[in-house]
């Protein structure tokens, strides 16, 4: 979809996903999958650990964002508006955790075994990171090589954690 200037009109989902918080959230979840999967190794343990960590990091980012907005405005922006603005900006961190948490929930319910659920969630995050990299570069470049490089670089953050999990658990 385009507006009159020929620029792409962002959808609500793309506004959420095209933030550093979304990319950071996927990397955070991947790191927690590596750590939680090596401790108890159960999908339930990983589900609880990842969910609580994402909630704490979301709250911390909202708090820090609200403080920064209040400081930058000399308090004129107001607490409610500052918190609301920070929460909207940070929502991508929560949103991107839906896929891995769903996979971990399926592991907890026995659809996948624990080991497979943790690996699937980690691999899904890496694929999503790659897709976000491709999509972000596609917003400013029509060249498929630039998009591919963007996708590979973004996915490599998840890929490094996949390698770490393989090394730590074997």
User: Does residue 47 form part of some domain?
Assistant: yes
Going by pLDDT thresholds of 50, 70 and 90, the confidence category of residue 169 is low
Instruction: Write the CA distances from 63 to 21, 40, 83, 86, 88, integer angstroms.
Output: 14, 31, 7, 8, 12
Q: How far, rounded to the nearest angstrom, does the alpha carbon of residue 101 sit from its chain's CA centroid?
A: 11
User: Does residue 111 form part of some domain?
Assistant: yes
User: Does residue 62 form part of some domain?
Assistant: yes
Of residues 123 and 163, more confidence is placed in 123
Q: Model-level pTM?
A: 0.81
For 27-74, the pLDDT digits (tens) are 889 888 888 766 667 899 999 999 999 999 999 999 999 999 999 999
User: Does residue 5 form part of some domain?
Assistant: no
- What percentage of the chain has pLDDT greater than the value 90? 46
For residue 141, pLDDT over 80 is answered with: yes
User: Does residue 61 form part of some domain?
Assistant: yes
| Residue whose token pair is 């999509």 | 135
User: Does residue 69 form part of some domain?
Assistant: yes
User: Does residue 60 form part of some domain?
Assistant: yes
Name the average pLDDT for the chain: 85
For residue 9, pLDDT over 80 is answered with: no
Domain that includes residue 65, residue range = 12-121
Which of 100, 145, 142 has the alpha carbon at shortest distance from 124?
Answer: 100
User: Does residue 52 form part of some domain?
Assistant: yes
Quickly list H helices, 40-143.
43-72, 79-95, 98-108, 114-138
């Amino acid at each position: 979809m385009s507006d009159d200037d020929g620029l792409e009109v962002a959808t609500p989902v793309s506004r959420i996903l095209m933030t550093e918080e979304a990319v950071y959230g996927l990397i955070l979840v991947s790191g927690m999958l590596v750590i939680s999967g090596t401790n108890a190794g159960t999908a339930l343990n990983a589900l609880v650990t990842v969910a609580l960590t994402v909630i704490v990091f979301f709250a911390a980012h909202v708090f820090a964002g609200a403080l920064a907005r209040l400081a930058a405005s000399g308090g004129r922006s107001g607490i409610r508006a500052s918190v609301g603005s920070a929460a909207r900006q940070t929502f991508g961190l929560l949103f991107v955790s839906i896929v891995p948490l769903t996979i971990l929930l399926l592991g907890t319910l026995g659809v996948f075994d624990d080991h497979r659920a943790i690996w699937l969630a980690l691999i899904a995050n890496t694929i999503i990171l790659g897709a976000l990299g491709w999509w972000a570069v596609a917003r400013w470049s029509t060249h498929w090589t630039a998009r591919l490089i963007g996708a590979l670089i973004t996915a490599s953050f998840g890929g490094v954690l996949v390698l770490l999990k393989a090394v730590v658990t074997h």
